[in-house]
């Protein structure tokens, strides 16, 4: 009998099913659908083999043809069911759930399937056996061929249409699965003695299992917990099918700068075992020292979170503490993207326990709105540069200005930097913002008009993020050279905070630019560590005293002595001093008498747009 390939296929699908069911797994919709597909494939192979055996017995040994016809009908009905499950497997993860046309399509395919199964059951079927050529035929079989073709082609077409919405590996696996099945059906139709369809369907299951549904891929090898990739898939699945959940997250903070590898591993393994012992809910290792568990309801989450905290508080042999983030209801977020933004934002919270609420969510959404505002401003060229002049005490003119970034909204309103700079630094947008400021300053200076009215230099603020790579000097010099600017016209202001984060990279990049002719200032001196080492070893020409430090000079006798002494020290090192925040004539005169080189503040001018700044230079520099 011609059942060798079917028997091989049955063995293969049985092996895959055992491996699949024994693996540590997540309760994902795709997994449920894959399990159904395996069951349909297994049952289809059983009835395929049984139908071949009974057809041979009916034709050659007088076995009941009615029983054989029933078995043949069950086989082709299971074959169509397998094709239907294949389409559902693809469509469920790809088609939008809330679009009217998608809902209509789902109902249409369900109706077609149900109607087809009834027709196959009612319509007549015949069979024949001649040597190794064994098959069934008739109206019932024709319906099966048509429906199988509809589901296979629909799956292929859906996969092709939504190929941009799925990883390349999933796209390839889906096409191979359905393509091999379709090719086998064509070959079997042309050469009936080659019964390939059953084998092809089981081979397709192997492809899906290896490429898409292998649960071990989502398990962390060292702890046995699920990985961060598994968390992403799981959360997306929950939101897609409107299933609420609660999440408890724990992060290990080591209380020493030096953490022995064995000590770290002991802490990780102890945490993993404690989480797995909490119950059957899935536990995840998000990164080296961060873990979470998902629950179906918040009451159980709070109960288990209290358990794990009590266990951690009882640990005295490890120099570590834990911080905990709890999200009682996932539906307070509007989707997986906001969920993960919230998670990543508040995982680093310093307080021991953070519980998600509307206030924290409003804060996050406000930050996201600012992020969107910055993106739109960069795209629509609504990033502007305002200039605040410095008064050169010795020369009695305004020959230096600070370039300050602003964002202009579509309605014309100006957004001050205090509303977006800190957020831009957190999310990395400070880098394109900084580059845009350098470009606009260079473009402004390229006309030479400002220089004709006494401007010698423009200072541009630089954040730590902008210098946190191997060669930011290339980006800055690119615009200087593009607009033909003298590099000496550009002075970059480095804050104490920026200078302290990646000191070696910072100095290396500063020296690259200094060799090109760019100069540097140490900005906001007095707000950071104010260590003498900063301006002893930093290659800067100017020290700028912060607004709060300057104002303290007039309000606090101790600060007055400190600032006076610091100005003297800076001058003895052949560095220049800028004081900012000067708002009255009296304050200005005191600073002049102290001998500072530059004075900046509202007494002379607020930061003003480019055209107003040019008018200021023309008026005040004669």
Write the pLDDT tens digit of every residue in 325-359. 999 999 999 999 999 989 988 887 778 889 999 99
Least confident interval from 47-61, 418-432, 499-513, 566-580 = 499-513
CATH node for 4-216: 1.20.1070.10
pLDDT in the model for residue 377: 94
Q: 598, exposed or middle or buried, with CB in 10 Å at 0-12, 13-18, 19+?
A: buried
For residues 125 and 141, what is the distance between their CA atoms, to the nearest angstrom? Answer: 7
pLDDT in tens, 135-145: 888 999 999 98
pLDDT in tens, 161-184: 888 877 777 888 888 888 888 888
Whether 529 has a pLDDT exceeding 60, the answer reads: no
pLDDT in the model for residue 231: 92
Whether 318 has a pLDDT exceeding 80, the answer reads: no
Residue by residue, DSSP assigns 254-295 as: ESSS---HHHHHHHHHHHHHHHHTT-SS-EEEEETTEEEEEE
Phi, psi of 135 (to 5 degrees): -160, 165
pLDDT in the model for residue 588: 92
Starting at the edge strand that comes first in sequence, how are the strands of the sheet with 290-295 ordered? 283-287, 290-295, 246-254, 320-327, 353-355
Taking the whole predicted model, whether its pTM rises above 0.85 is answered as no
Spatial contact of 25 and 31, defined as CB atoms under 8 Å apart? yes
pLDDT in the model for residue 254: 72
pLDDT in the model for residue 444: 95
Whether 498 has a pLDDT exceeding 60, the answer reads: no
Whether 528 has a pLDDT exceeding 70, the answer reads: no
DSSP lists the bridge partners of residue 353 as 324
The ranges assigned to domains in the chain are: 4-216, 219-356, 382-620
User: DSSP secondary-structure letter at 517?
Assistant: T
Kindly give the interhelix angle for 261-276 and 298-313, rounded to the nearest 10 degrees: 140
Q: What is the CA radius of gyration of the chain?
A: 36
Confidence label for 532 from pLDDT (cuts 50, 70 and 90): low
Pick 266 or 43 by higher pLDDT: 43
pLDDT in the model for residue 17: 86
For the chain, the average pLDDT equals 86
Confidence label for 511 from pLDDT (cuts 50, 70 and 90): confident
Nearest to 238 by CA among 30, 37, 25: 30
For residues 445 and 450, what is the distance between their CA atoms, to the nearest angstrom? Answer: 7
Quick one: average pLDDT of 551-580? Answer: 87
User: Rounded to an integer, what is the distance from CA 323 to the centroid of its chain?
Assistant: 23
pLDDT in the model for residue 133: 81
pLDDT in the model for residue 425: 83
Whether 73 has a pLDDT exceeding 90, the answer reads: yes
For residues 267 and 320, what is the distance between their CA atoms, to the nearest angstrom? Answer: 8
Quick one: average pLDDT of 37-46? Answer: 90
Quick one: average pLDDT of 49-74? Answer: 91
Whether 455 has a pLDDT exceeding 90, the answer reads: yes
Coil, helix or strand for 323?
strand
State the CB neighbour count (10 A cutoff) for residue 542: 24
Whether 545 has a pLDDT exceeding 90, the answer reads: no
pLDDT in tens, 589-600: 999 999 999 999
Whether 378 has a pLDDT exceeding 90, the answer reads: yes
Pick 495 or 158 by higher pLDDT: 158
Superfamily name with CATH number, domain 219-356: Reverse transcriptase/Diguanylate cyclase domain (3.30.70.270)
Pick 23 or 511 by higher pLDDT: 511
Phi, psi of 458 (to 5 degrees): -120, 130
DSSP lists the bridge partners of residue 490 as 458
For residues 605 and 321, what is the distance between their CA atoms, to the nearest angstrom? Answer: 50
Whether 301 has a pLDDT exceeding 90, the answer reads: yes
Whether 381 has a pLDDT exceeding 90, the answer reads: yes
Residue by residue, DSSP assigns 461-510 as: EE-TGGGSSS-HHHHHHHHHHHTT--GGGEEEEEEHHHHHHSHHHHHHHH
Is 219-356 the same fold as 4-216?
A: no
DSSP lists the bridge partners of residue 598 as 392, 578
pLDDT in the model for residue 29: 86
Confidence label for 192 from pLDDT (cuts 50, 70 and 90): confident
Spatial contact of 136 and 129, defined as CB atoms under 8 Å apart? no
Coil, helix or strand for 224?
coil
For residues 245 and 236, what is the distance between their CA atoms, to the nearest angstrom? Answer: 12
Pick 95 or 388 by higher pLDDT: 388
Report H helices in 95-167: 100-122, 139-161
Quick one: average pLDDT of 193-211? Answer: 82
382-620: CATH topology: TIM Barrel (3.20.20)
Spatial contact of 3 and 50, defined as CB atoms under 8 Å apart? no
The distance in angstroms from the start CA to the end CA of the chain is 107
């Amino acid at each position: 009998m011609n059942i060798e390939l079917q028997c091989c296929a049955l063995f293969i699908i049985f092996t895959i099913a055992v491996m699949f069911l024994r693996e540590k797994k997540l309760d994902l919709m795709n997994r449920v659908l894959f399990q159904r597909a395996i069951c349909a494939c297994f049952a289809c192979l059983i009835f395929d083999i049984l139908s071949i055996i009974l057809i041979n017995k009916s034709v050659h040994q007088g076995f009941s043809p009615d029983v054989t016809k029933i078995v043949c009908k069950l086989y082709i009905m299971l074959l169509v069911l397998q094709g239907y499950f294949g389409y559902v497997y693809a469509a469920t993860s790809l088609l939008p759930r809330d679009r009217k046309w998608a809902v209509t399509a789902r109902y249409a395919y369900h109706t077609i399937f149900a109607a087809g199964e009834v027709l196959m059951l009612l319509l007549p079927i015949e069979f024949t056996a001649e040597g190794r050529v064994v098959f069934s035929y008739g109206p019932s079989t024709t319906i099966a061929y048509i429906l199988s073709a509809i589901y296979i082609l629909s799956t292929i077409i859906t996969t092709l249409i939504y190929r941009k919405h799925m990883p390349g590996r999933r796209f390839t696996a889906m096409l191979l699965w359905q393509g091999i099945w379709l090719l086998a059906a064509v070959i079997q139709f042309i050469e009936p003695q080659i019964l390939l369809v059953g084998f092809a369907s089981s081979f397709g299951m192997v492809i899906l299992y290896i490429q898409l549904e292998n649960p071990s891929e989502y398990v962390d090898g060292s702890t046995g917990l699920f990985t961060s990739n598994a968390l992403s898939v799981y959360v997306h699945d929950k939101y897609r099918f409107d299933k609420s959940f609660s999440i408890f997250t724990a992060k290990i903070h080591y209380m020493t700068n030096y953490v022995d590898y064995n000590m770290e591993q002991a802490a990780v393994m102890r945490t993993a075992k404690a989480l797995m012992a909490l119950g059957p809910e899935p536990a995840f290792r998000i990164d080296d020292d961060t873990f979470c568990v998902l629950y179906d309801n918040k009451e159980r989450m709070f109960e288990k979170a209290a358990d794990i905290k009590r266990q951690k508080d009882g640990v005295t042999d490890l120099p570590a503490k834990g911080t905990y983030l709890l999200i009682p209801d996932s539906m307070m977020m509007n989707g997986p993207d906001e969920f993960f933004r919230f998670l990543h934002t508040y995982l680093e919270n310093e307080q021991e326990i953070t519980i998600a609420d509307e206030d924290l969510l409003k804060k996050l959404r406000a930050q996201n709105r600012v992020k969107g505002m910055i993106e739109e401003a960069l795209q629509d060229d609504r990033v502007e540069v305002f200039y605040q002049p410095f008064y050169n005490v010795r020369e009695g003119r305004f020959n230096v200005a600070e370039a300050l970034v602003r964002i202009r909204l579509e309605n014309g309103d100006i957004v001050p930097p205090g509303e977006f700079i800190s957020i831009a630094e957190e999310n990395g947008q400070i880098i394109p913002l900084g580059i845009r400021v350098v470009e606009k300053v260079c473009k402004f200076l390229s006309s030479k008009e400002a220089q004709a009215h006494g401007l010698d230099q423009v200072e541009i603020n630089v954040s730590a993020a902008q210098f946190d790579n191997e060669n930011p000097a290339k980006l800055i010099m690119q615009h200087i050279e593009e607009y033909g600017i003298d590099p000496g016209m550009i002075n970059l202001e480095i804050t104490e905070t920026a200078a302290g984060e990646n000191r070696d990279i910072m100095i290396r990049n500063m020296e690259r630019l200094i060799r090109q002719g760019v100069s540097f200032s140490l900005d906001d001196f007095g707000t950071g560590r104010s260590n003498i080492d900063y301006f002893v070893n930093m290659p800067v020409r100017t020290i700028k005293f912060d607004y709060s430090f300057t104002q303290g000079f007039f309000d606090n006798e101790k600060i007055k002595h400190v600032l006076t002494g610091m100005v003297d020290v800076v001058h003895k090192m052949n560095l220049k001093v800028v004081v900012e925040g000067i708002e009255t004539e009296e304050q200005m005169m005191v600073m002049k008498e102290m001998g500072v080189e530059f004075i900046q503040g509202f007494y002379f001018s607020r930061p003003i747009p480019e055209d107003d700044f040019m008018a200021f230079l023309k008026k005040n520099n004669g």
